[in-house]
Amino acid sequence: MKHMKTYHSMTHDTDLGPIVIEGPLSSNELGHFKFHEQLTAFRPADKQFAALMGIADFPEGRILVARAGDTIVGYVTYLHPDPLERWSEFNMKDLIELGAIEIIPAYRGARVASNLLKLSMMDDFMENYIIISTEYYWHWDLDGTNLSIWNYRKVMEKMMATGGLLPAPTDDPEIISHPANCLMVRIGKNVPEESVEQFDKLRFLTRHNHRKMREGL
């Protein structure tokens, strides 16, 4: 599968002034910008910026950013699932994961994240993918937002829906370990039926493996 990427951009007005939302960007293009020091949800800012540059040059990797001037204040990533995760089990070339989305506190509530998702889906090639996002409540900034787990999930679901990702059932042990966790999914209109069927096996891999074991007895 040849992964095609088409650049899009938009200007989004906020109370702090206009910001540019654009991508996907290559590592070389990302290198022209500064990375805001408060983008530390996953690791220290400098290390996270280096990680984004690595993802940007993966064949399937996509980095879209929100920037104020030459400073990145938010981003979203897409890439194949981690090899250690169940979602890489069948090595599906048309399955990608929304791996991270992060906005600095000053721009939260300004629809920056939802516009990053909207811009992501402007690329017609995204219709060739099954896109997933695994949402775990222990990754959520409950203290910073002063939201309860359930209110945070409502906000998260509404934001993800702007990119077409909706909750989907699964028997993944980590996700079902807490009722607030969820799997979000968007199936592109060009995804073949055999990929959808394979993905359904992935969603219920525990059940699928138990069935195989029983059939092998």
The pLDDT tens digits of the residues spanning 23-61 come to 999 999 999 999 999 999 999 999 999 999 999 999 999
Burial 47-77 (b: 16+ CB within 10 A, else e): ebbebbbebbeeebbbbbbbbbeeebbbbbb
**CATH 3.40.630.30 fits domain 8-216:** yes
State the pTM of this model.
0.93
Q: Report how far apart, in Å, the C-alpha atoms of 174 and of each of 45, 134, 150, 182, 211 are.
A: 27, 9, 18, 9, 20
Amino acid 10: pLDDT: 98
**Furthest-apart CA atoms within the chain: distance in Å:** 65
Note the residue count of the chain.
Answer: 217
Number of other CB atoms surrounding residue 213 within 10 Å:
9
Question: Is residue 215's pLDDT more than 70?
Answer: no
User: Mind listing the pLDDT tens digit for each residue in 51-100?
Assistant: 999 999 999 999 999 999 999 999 999 999 999 999 999 999 999 999 99
pLDDT classification of 139: cutoffs 50, 70, 90: confident
Q: Please give the mean pLDDT across all residues of the chain.
A: 94
